[in-house]
Structure 1
């Protein structure tokens, strides 16, 4: 396993991926908006946790929403290699896996190439598995496909000696409160817990517990739950299908929110 040592004076960290790493739907509390550039997310939170232990942390987030694995490998990986950071996180392939007809074996080969190139720089490369979607009525049909991809991801991690954050076995993510209204992106609390879990994997001391039980919640009436399902289908699922049919992406025309390594204040 590639070692990661928090005991250093300076540290550079680059995050690579799609909307999951960009930080949707976790707006900065003082932004007053969820406009582009105001999302935080687990990677930003992780970078700030690192500043509690390292005098100087330089951080870049190259992730862009909607990107497929080929786009991430072609665009973000060369940028990350050029920046030559100490730590790289890569969570990629999810947008491919949820599309009909995609082959997890093919996606995994592209992912392996990305990891190989990142590890060649000497960086610690932190890898994320896919989430177990069995608790979601619509997404549960993808469970087998995600599991297949996860087996590849774990094999790639073993080959290139990479630490792994296993989202599949994070039971706290099987609660609806860990997810935003679109049921695809983490909520602010979901991002907070994932950042804490990532710190645990890296051996970065934190005070809070990512696995703390959720507060008790009253059961939701059947009618209310169905109304939420209809709202989700109208506001998210239908537009998503429309973008797939027309070849559009939510990330078209957008660049990364933190394209350069910048010191965190």
Structure 2
């Protein structure tokens, strides 16, 4: 895998394009020096690709809250125009959270998207969805998530895509792998996932994952306090946005909208420092 991936693509270039929503944008891995104030696993993958073989270019078109239809309409054609060597795609997670989503229609659109990307000749990386255990309120969504994961595995096999089976990663049962909203990975979670993606691609890397002692069990009062804070800080605002028909990504642009040459040593933070503010 690594030999094919590191071989020059069209016009002697190697281009990695990341597509999707907050999962790929990097929400939860906060870094004020980078575009949109986040870093994420995809930036880390791009940096490790450049260290393994300098010359890689990287674009990240993912924006938080985007549904699958938005990714198809807004990200697909720009991505194909970049003649990518490698594409990572996670899409559909926000649709699963929407009331009334037809999961079977969603997965038909998902396969259409994967088929277009695969036809480009790029190596395509797909992800199953993790069964996030945040609250009994979201338990009815487990059936949708199970269908989604089954269909993603089928699509990955059909189009010979690389599958990162996120659902199987036991490390994510540790709450410290998640941000305060319990839906997005923490910095530790993004680092761990970057390592898993690179391992699946066969790319050597130096991503170090966090090793913790077992998390202490919270008492009932502490658990109840955290639940109330989570509902107040995250759940109620989420439902409020749904009622108003707005999302956190409405005013955002892609973090890396055009391919940038990734510095093999200093990484993307040095590159971001050269971008004029505003």
Q: Provide the TM-score with structure 1 as the length reference.
A: 0.91
Aligned equivalent of 1:22: 25
Deviation, structure 1 residue 134: 4.2
Matched residue, 2:216: 218
What is the rounded CA distance, in whole Å, between the counterparts of 1:94 and 1:151 in structure 2?
A: 14
Question: As a proportion of its length, which structure holds more helix?
Answer: 2
Contact 1:94 1:130 in 2 (8 A): yes
Aligned length: 259
Q: Quick check: 86-95 or 102-111, which moved more?
A: 102-111
Q: Is residue 2:265 matched to residue 1:262?
A: no
| C-alpha displacement of 1:208 | 5.0
> Match of 1:62?
61
1:110-136 CA-partner distances (Å, limit 9, x unpaired):
111111111111101100111022465
SS at match of 1:200: helix
Q: CA deviation at 1:138?
A: 3.8
Q: Which stretch shifts more, 198-207 or 137-146?
A: 137-146
Partner of 2:96: 97
Alignment partner, residue 156 of structure 1: 155
Q: CA deviation at 1:182?
A: 0.4
**CA-CA distance at 1:11 after TM superposition:** 2.1
Match of 2:250 in 1: 252
Q: Which residue of 2 aligns with 1:143?
A: 142
> 1:177, 1:157 → 2: CA distance?
30
Q: How far is the alpha carbon of 1:215 from its aligned partner?
A: 1.8
Instruction: Supply the RMSD in Å over aligned alpha carbons.
Output: 2.0
> TM-score with structure 2 length normalisation?
0.87
- Give distance in 2, aligned partners of 1:3 and 1:263: 20
Structure 2 residues not aligned, in runs of 5+: 264-278
Q: CA deviation at 1:99?
A: 1.4
Q: Tell whether the 8 Å contact from 2:92 to 2:106 is kept in structure 1 after alignment.
A: yes
